[in-house]
Amino acid sequence: MKQLCADLRQFAIEIRQLGFSLNGGVGERECLDLSERMLAAVNQAEARMASAKSTPLFAAAAEGSVARAGSGFGEMTWVCM
């Protein structure tokens, strides 16, 4: 996920540069708007990742803990990574 965010941030910068280099400003506004939306999406994803890392479930998964839940139909095991 970190690599995806880094790639998207770099693509947004490249689109912004492309927008500034277009002849006569044709499409400049569209490129700048797209770049802004991409950067906003990256910032939201990074904020979600940061908040998820502070949750107990994420911390347990990072430590390799496995959660088990019993039910009337057997036992279910899951690991969140």
What would the 3-class secondary structure string for 14-28 be? HHHHHHHHCHHHCCH
Asked whether the beta carbons of 48 and 2 are under 8 A apart, the reply is: no
The reported pLDDT for the residue numbered 70 is: 46
What confidence tier does 1 reach under pLDDT thresholds 50, 70, 90?
A: confident
Asked whether the beta carbons of 61 and 81 are under 8 A apart, the reply is: yes
d(CA 30, CA 76) in angstroms, rounded, equals: 49
Share of the chain above pLDDT 90, in %: 48
Residues of the chain by 3-state class (helix, strand, coil), percent to 5: 70, 10, 20
Q: What is the pTM of this model?
A: 0.60
